[in-house]
Structure formats: structure tokens, C-alpha cells
Amino acid sequence: MQNTQVQKLVRMAILIAVSIVLVYFIHFPIFPQVAFLEYDPADISILIAGFAYGPLSGIVVTIIASVIQGLTVSAQSGIYGIIMHIIATTALVGVSSLYYDRHKTKKDALISLALGCVAMTIVMCIANLIVTPYFMGVSTEAVISLMPFILAFNLIKAILNSVVTFILYKRISPILHRD
């Protein structure tokens, strides 16, 4: 039993490392008008952790990966970036893996990822209205004017990462569950 837990922790650590490496090598703005909103595939390995080990593990991986990324490869965004990444990815991974944890079919995986995409998009619209004015020193009206970009960005990012996760998870799952 203890060996199984150690293996799980090691695999979760590897998924965190993969998340950080992905951000380091792949990040780019989707909309030039709001270049600070950069796509990155970090959530793919975090989603895989949530699917493999459950929602709590997915959220733990989210927090650890977000803090490490925010202190290293994404340090320019500071505490604001860490907070926003934790909020966004917790919504995506938490909702997706919670649903998937109870429904493990291929069809249910699609449903779980779709629910996670919707959750992330809605949560980030709300979070941007609350967190961004405080940390960025801009008015709520300024954030509202960017809301179409914020909404589209989060939906696109969540969908892209979910599609890749859907394609990869069943191929990687046997490795993650090997004793």
C-alpha cells in the first residue's frame, strides 16, 4: 500500500514537471489586442492527473504547478498570475475530474471536459472582474471592456487543452496506473 502511494506521488510530481516544461516551451498570445493573455498547454498534464488520481489530486497538482510556474517560468506575472492560474485550472480540472471520477466512459470523458471548459470560462469571467482590478490597478469598467477577449481566451484555452487531454489520456492511463 505504501509503495503504491509513493508511486502515485512520484507520478504526480512528474505531471507537475511536465506542466512546467510545457509552459516554458509553449506560450503565445491568442489575441494580439490582449497579448498578456497567453495560451499554454500546462493544464493538459494537470487534467491527466485529475483524471488518473481524482479531483483532489488534480487540485493539489494545480496548486503546486501554479506556484512553481509562477516563481520560475512565468515569474513576470507574479502573485496575480499564480492566483489566476490556480482559479482557472481548479475550475477546469476540479469540475472535469469530479465528473469523470464517477463516469469513466469515453462519452462521459467528453462530457466532463465540456463541463470543465464551461466552468473555467464562467469562473474566469467572474475572477477577472474581482481579482484583476485589485492586482492590476485597473477599473472594473476596463476589465468589462476586455470581457469578450477574456471569455473567448478562456474558452479557447480550455477547449484546446481538453481536446489534447482527451486524445492522450487513455494512451497514458496504463502507465499512470501501473504498480
Report d(CA 96, CA 75) in Å as an integer. 28
178 pLDDT band, cuts 50/70/90, is: confident
What is 2-26+38-176's CATH topology?
Answer: Arp2/3 complex 21 kDa subunit ARPC3 (1.10.1760)
- Tell me what the mean pLDDT of segment 75-79 comes to: 90
Per-residue pLDDT band for 109 (boundaries 50, 70, 90) equals very high
Distance between CA atoms of 7 and 53, rounded to whole angstroms? 12
Share of the chain above pLDDT 90, in %: 93
Alpha-carbon distance values, 80 to 35, 36, 86, 94, 172 (Å): 16, 12, 10, 20, 32
pTM (predicted TM-score) = 0.95
Please provide the average confidence, as pLDDT, over all residues in the chain.
96
pLDDT, position 159: 98
Question: Is residue 75 over pLDDT 60?
Answer: yes
Closest CA to 158 of 60, 50, 39: 39
Q: Which residues contact 98 (CB under 8 A, 6 or more apart)?
A: 55, 112
- Which candidate, 89, 148, 156, places its Cα nearest to that of 123? 89
Reported as a pLDDT band with limits 50, 70 and 90, residue 1 is: low
Determine the pLDDT at residue 84.
97
User: For the segment 138-157, what is each residue's pLDDT rounded down to a tens digit?
Assistant: 999 999 999 999 999 999 99
Domain regions of the chain by residue span: 2-26+38-176
